[in-house]
Amino acid sequence: MKIDRRKFVAGTAAAGTMAFLPKMAIAGETIKVGSILDTSGIFDLYGKPMDKAVTLAIEELNAAGGIAGRKLEKVAYDTQSNMALYTQFAQKLTRQDKVDVVHGGILSASREAIRPTLRKSKTLYFYNVQYEGGVCDRNIFCTGVTPAQQAEVLVPYAMEKWGKKIYILAADYNYGQITAKWIEHYAGKAGGSVVKTDFFPLDVADFGSTIAKIQEAAPDMIMSALVGGAHLSFYRQWAAAGMNKKIPMASTTLGAGNEQVVLTKEEGDGILLAYSFSKELDRPENKVFLDKWQKRFGSTDDIHELAVATYQGMHLWGAGANKAGSVERDKVVEALESGVSIIGPSGKITVDPKTHHVVTDVHIVEVGDQKMNVVKSYDQRQPVDTQAVCDLSANPGDTTQYEIKI
């Protein structure tokens, strides 16, 4: 084989130049989207639909031309509801896979397990889950509702309906402990009181003694911030004891994983919730979304709040990247901080530049016949809890998760 020396030298020179070009300059290279979620284990009822949401959003973004003309590729890991695997896979996503953005985490513990790794590697992170509020970090965007968006409307609404004495049940970790304080705070503001608060480890599934204590305390209502498959047992045991006919209940967590479908009609009917999304929302964008999900996955039964927040978080990131014309972290962050908005299944979602949280609609819903029926809506609620402690415009180097003083 004869080789043209001048062509060979020119070709190798070009290849050498290409090797030293920044990643974004290589035409045709895919954009890597990291997904790190519990798609098996005790939190898979949350994680599986969230993973589907990432898939659907990537397909939609690619169908619309991708980001700056480049297609998106999903790189996903199942943490098996194991916190240690979150750390391991976050390192793999950043060091080996070299992803451009990560969407993932469910529990606050999983978020905090990977947030330092992603910040250190300068990999943009989206946490698409309702949580206790207070994260202040320019490398992360939080698209789920916070207590000031959710509990602040749910607690007084339930008190007006049922009475002023509240018994709180909560998961024994960051989210449950802090949310319980918010519930007590909003109860006090509305002239009510908390008669008792009980915390439960995430693997607790026997609530017999707790039900007896609730009966003795005789509250007007229960506020539940229980989390996960094991805690779902409480609602079944509560109904089996006939207590759902005697003491009503509201929850900041039930329904986030579509639990109202897992419960029977008799077990779930009448429970009050507050979320940014319900499949029953009468909005054209929601109907389009449900139709797309049905066609892609065969059923809409598994859609829930966290799946929709993930889907909208993906599109919010896509809107920021397209505005920036790049997936380079700092450029995307600056674009999002300009106040980027999207219209998703739940309505208008807008980035709050100072906190990297979102402004969103919130709806009081009542479980009935395994559906989340909207009874009252609150438009464009600000994340005022996190706004009280976080100002990334003034302090861009802040990386704290604040426990907001109430």
Q: Is the pLDDT of residue 126 over 80?
A: yes
The mean per-residue pLDDT over the stretch 331-352 comes to 96
Q: Is the pLDDT of residue 2 over 50?
A: no
- Nearest Cα neighbor of 86 from 106, 119, 110 is 110
- The predicted-structure confidence for 233-271, as pLDDT tens digits, reads as follows 999 999 999 999 999 999 999 988 888 988 999 999 999
Q: Is the pLDDT of residue 114 over 70?
A: yes
Rounded CA gap, 328 and 89, in Å?
Answer: 21
Are 301 and 372 within 8 A, CB to CB? no
Going across the sheet that includes 140-142, the strands are: 72-78, 31-37, 101-104, 124-127, 140-142
Output the CA torsion 256→257→263→269 (10° steps). 20
- The predicted-structure confidence for 58-105, as pLDDT tens digits, reads as follows 999 999 999 999 999 999 999 999 999 999 999 999 999 999 999 999
At 28, the pLDDT band (50, 70, 90 cuts) reads low
- The predicted-structure confidence for 302-323, as pLDDT tens digits, reads as follows 999 999 999 999 999 999 999 9
Give percent of the chain above pLDDT 70.
93
Dmax over CA atoms of the chain, in Å, equals: 93
Give percent of the chain above pLDDT 90.
87
CATH topology of domain 31-146+280-362+383-401: Rossmann fold (3.40.50)
Rounded CA gap, 406 and 403, in Å?
Answer: 9
The confidence score (pLDDT) of residue 23 equals 41
- The predicted-structure confidence for 205-228, as pLDDT tens digits, reads as follows 999 999 999 999 999 999 999 998
The confidence score (pLDDT) of residue 121 equals 97
Rounded CA gap, 114 and 93, in Å?
Answer: 11
163, 297, 402, 404 from 117: Cα distances, Å = 46, 33, 19, 24
How is the chain split among helix, strand and coil, in percent rounded to 5?
A: 45, 25, 35
The confidence score (pLDDT) of residue 5 equals 38
The CATH 3.40.50.2300 portion of the chain extends over 31-146+280-362+383-401, 151-251
- The β-bridge relationship of strands 165-171 and 221-225 is parallel
Q: Cβ-count burial of 165 within 10 angstroms (0-12 exposed, 13-18 middle, 19+ buried)? A: middle
The mean per-residue pLDDT over the stretch 371-386 comes to 95
At 22, the pLDDT band (50, 70, 90 cuts) reads very low
Q: Is the pLDDT of residue 345 over 80?
A: yes
The confidence score (pLDDT) of residue 12 equals 34
The mean per-residue pLDDT over the stretch 354-363 comes to 97
Q: Which CATH superfamily is domain 151-251 in?
A: Response regulator (3.40.50.2300)
Mean confidence (pLDDT) of the chain: 91
Q: Cβ-count burial of 11 within 10 angstroms (0-12 exposed, 13-18 middle, 19+ buried)? A: exposed
Residue 202 C-beta-side C-alpha neighbours within 13 Å: 16
Rounded CA gap, 320 and 383, in Å?
Answer: 20
Question: What are the phi and psi torsion angles at 332 (to 5°)?
Answer: -65, -45
Q: Is the pLDDT of residue 346 over 70?
A: yes
**Structure tokens, 198:** 């009980």
